[in-house]
Amino acid sequence: MLSLFIEGVVAAGFFLIYKLIAIKMGIEDVARYSIIRRAQMPVVTFLLLGMDIALLRYLPIAGNIHQKLYYFNSAFLIFFVLTLTMWIGVLIFIDDIYVFMFGTREPTLTGIASFTFFTSFGLYLIIYSWLRGNMRTLHFNLLNLLVNFLL
């Protein structure tokens, strides 16, 4: 029941965030925010390579804490290496990425912020999967609520 309530609050929060962005910053920034949110899942999916799903599957059946930590550390290492690779690629091809994402070669704070957002969201999913895989219902629900209002 708590999970259902938290998901409802998060869904309502999305509408509130879009409304606040539209009021404070304008329609163009709502469109940018929406594009960044839509680009989030393909990028984060690449960075995680399914490790968040694997943690949800293998943590409950792991024999002891050492095996659970091994799974978590492996998932985090894969995420770290791929994220580092993404950031190196972003720094090398930053002009082309800006043209692709924003239609301009001029660096903007939105560009760097979006890749920081992708990195932090991937980290959130790893931690969320750890908590959920260990059946820490209250913890993963509170984390979900907190992160969705911060991001």
pLDDT tens for 36-95 read 878 888 888 888 899 999 998 999 999 899 999 999 999 999 999 999 999 999 888 887
pTM for the whole thing? 0.79
Task: Name 76's Cβ contacts closer than 8 Å, sequence gap at least 6.
Answer: 126
Residue with tokens 């979006």: 114
Distance CA 121, CA 126 (A): 9
Longest dimension (CA), the chain: 52
142 contacts: CB under 8 Å, gap ≥ 6: 6
Question: Do 86 and 44 contact (CB within 8 A), yes or no?
Answer: no
